[in-house]
Amino acid sequence: MSRFQALSPASRAIVLMIAAIFCFTAMDATAKALTPRVGLVPTLWARYAGQTLVVLVMVAHRMPGILKTRYPKLQAMRSAFLLVATGCFFVGIANIGLAQATAIMDVNPVLITLGAALFLKERLGPRRLFGIVAALIGAMIVIRPGGDVFSPYAIFPLVAAACYSGYALATRFVGRDEDVWTSLLYTGLFGSVVLSILLPGAWVRPDAQSLALMGTLILFGTLSQLLLIKALSQGEAGLIAPFAYAGLIFASIWGMIFFDEFPDLWTIIGALVIAGAGIYVWHRETRA
């Protein structure tokens, strides 16, 4: 038995979540580099169509059984949530710093915690309520509405966080009964169909560097979704959600290395408030 398999289900879920967040931030950095070269719709199309193609190749031997789902409407809804979340976030990172956008996006764990209590009947105690309020305050520190440095594009990661929370909760629900590959296939298939309809009017012929970026986007996009689905199928949404804050570290590193972006003091303070709130909730709840 491998060391990973020897871990408890909760520990495996945490490891899978951190790996998923690493891949998500790598995908985001790739999308930030690709979007100015080919545009938003082709970037999104490469992300979804590539994932769908990879998954179809990997599950071809299980067709058509892998297409069977007990929750067709819920699968469509979770896919729509993720498509809107991805689109909004890509718009955000194309116009503001990667670390800033990620910090705003990282209010989603507390939104997931709230949604898990409302819709999945998971616990919601005073500590989690405190975490929700504190994280939202942190988001306002990063966004600074009404301030001199406020950008309307900062709203897009916030909308993305809300939509992503809906996706994660729906994934958690269907993950109890559905095959991981079924959920992964439907996630990409819905976005591929919608974006393929929009693509002809937005297509820009990619050069060699853009093609390489598209390939990287496909790789990290597919890995991130698979790891996330596996994590949510093995652990409570409220337990693993705080580990999404590892993305603040990864995004800051990508931003500094590839885009010469250094988060300002208020972004760092807001990010620390958001991360601190989530980690506090996780620590207190797991001790309890």
pLDDT tens per residue across span 237-270: 667 767 777 888 888 889 889 988 887 788 788 8
Instruction: Give start and end residues of each alpha helix (H) in the chain.
Output: 3-6, 9-38, 40-58, 72-95, 98-105, 108-119, 126-143, 155-174, 180-198, 208-234, 237-240, 246-259, 265-287
35 close to 214: Cβ distance less than 8 angstroms: no
Name the least confident of 6-10, 95-99, 284-288.
Answer: 284-288
**Backbone φ, ψ for residue 20 (5° rounding):** -65, -40
pTM equals: 0.78
Burial class (CB in 10 A: 0-12, 13-18, 19+), 16: buried
Percent of the chain with pLDDT over 70: 89
Mean pLDDT of the chain: 82
In this prediction, residues 98-114 reach a mean pLDDT of 80
CA pair distance 32, 26, nearest whole angstrom:
10
**Backbone φ, ψ for residue 122 (5° rounding):** -80, 160
- pLDDT of 196 > 70? The answer is yes
In this prediction, residues 17-39 reach a mean pLDDT of 92
Q: How confident is the model at residue 149 (pLDDT cuts 50, 70, 90)?
A: low
Confidence at residue 146, expressed as pLDDT on a 0 to 100 scale? 57
- pLDDT of 147 > 70? The answer is no
In this prediction, residues 94-114 reach a mean pLDDT of 81
Confidence at residue 45, expressed as pLDDT on a 0 to 100 scale? 93
Confidence at residue 281, expressed as pLDDT on a 0 to 100 scale? 66
* Residue scoring higher pLDDT (237 or 97): 97
* Residue scoring higher pLDDT (68 or 208): 208
The domain segmentation of the chain, as residue ranges, is 9-287
Confidence at residue 23, expressed as pLDDT on a 0 to 100 scale? 94
Q: How confident is the model at residue 89 (pLDDT cuts 50, 70, 90)?
A: very high
In this prediction, residues 87-115 reach a mean pLDDT of 83
* Residue scoring higher pLDDT (281 or 33): 33
* Residue scoring higher pLDDT (229 or 148): 229
- Tokens of residue 258, six digits: 């590839």
Instruction: Render pLDDT for 206-228 as a digit per residue (tens, 0 to 9).
Output: 999 999 999 999 899 888 878 88
207 close to 96: Cβ distance less than 8 angstroms: no
In this prediction, residues 77-93 reach a mean pLDDT of 91
Name the CA radius of gyration of the chain, rounded: 18
CA pair distance 137, 120, nearest whole angstrom:
25
275 close to 107: Cβ distance less than 8 angstroms: no
- pLDDT of 132 > 90? The answer is no
* Residue scoring higher pLDDT (63 or 212): 212
Confidence at residue 122, expressed as pLDDT on a 0 to 100 scale? 66
Q: CB 112: neighbour CB atoms within 10 A? A: 27
